Amino acid sequence: VKSNSAGFTIPELEIEVTQGSLGGMYTTVEGLLQLAKESLFSGTARDFATGDSADDDIRERFDNLEKKFDQVLEGSLGFTLELKDPLACSFIYSPTAPEPEPRLEVVDYERSFDDNEELGLNDMNTENYEVLDGSSPAPAAAPAPPSKPVIDLDEGSFDGPFETFQGARDGMVFRLGAKGLGYYEDLVRTNDYSEPSVQQ
C-alpha cells in the first residue's frame, strides 16, 4: 500500500518520485515501477526530453535511463526501492511475517522541519492552544445552562373526563392525556421552568 504522502527513490537509476506525484494505490513493486515508467517515458515528459528541440546529450541519457528501467522490470538489473512516507501510512506486505524479511528493511526516522513544513504541521498549534502572535488565548466559553428537568404532564390533579371544553380554568389545561379528555394541572406553569440566567 503506497499512500498519497509517500515518495520513493531508486538509487541505481538515480530517480526520485516525490510524494503525491503518483497518488495513493494498492499495488506491487512491479506495478509501482511500471506506473513510474509510464509517467516518465510517455506523453509530455518524453516529448520534452526526446523532441527536436532536445539536446543530444539529454536525449541519450533519457534513452539509457529507459533501457535501465526495462532491465529493472525484467529482473536483469538489481535495484533498491526506498519508500519514504513521512506520515507512516504505507505498508509493504512481507510473505515471511511475523518473521523478518531479509530483503526488507524498516527504518523509523524523525520528520525534518522541511517534511513538517510540506505537510503543514509547522503552523499547527498543539500546546496550550495559545494564538501564534503571543497574545492571551481566547476566553473559555460560558458554561451551558442547566438542563430542564423532565416532567410527566399527566401527573398532578385531573378533572374529567369531558366530551367537550367546559371553559377556562385557572391553573388547568384542557387536553387529551393518559386519563382521557379533561382538565390537567398545568405543571409547566405551576413549577418555575423559566430559563435560568447565566452569570458572565
Q: pLDDT tens across 105-131, in order? A: 888 878 888 888 888 888 887 676 655
Lookup result for grid cell 498519497: 4
What are the strands, taking DSSP E only, across 1-110? 7-10, 15-17, 82-84
Q: Give a three-class secondary structure readout of 151-167.
A: CCCCCCCEECCCCCCCC
CA 45 to chain centre: 32
pLDDT at 134: 57
Closest CA to 29 of 65, 99, 97, 80: 80
Number of helices (H), then strands (E), belonging to the chain: the values are: 5, 6
Q: For residues 41-65, give the mean pLDDT.
A: 72
CA distances from 72 to 65, 76, 146, 173 (A): 11, 6, 70, 87
Phi, psi of 119 (to 5 degrees): -90, -5
Phi, psi of 83 (to 5 degrees): -95, 120
pLDDT at 200 over 80: no
Q: For residues 140-150, give the mean pLDDT.
A: 70
Quick check: 50 and 62 in contact, CB under 8 A?
A: yes
Average pLDDT, the chain: 79
pLDDT at 136 over 70: no
- What DSSP string describes 144-200? PPPPPPP--TT-S-EE---SS-----TTEEEEEETTEEEEEE-HHHHTT-PPPP---
**Percent of the chain with pLDDT strictly greater than 90:** 0
pLDDT at 46 over 70: no
pLDDT at 21: 77
Q: For residues 154-161, give the mean pLDDT.
A: 84
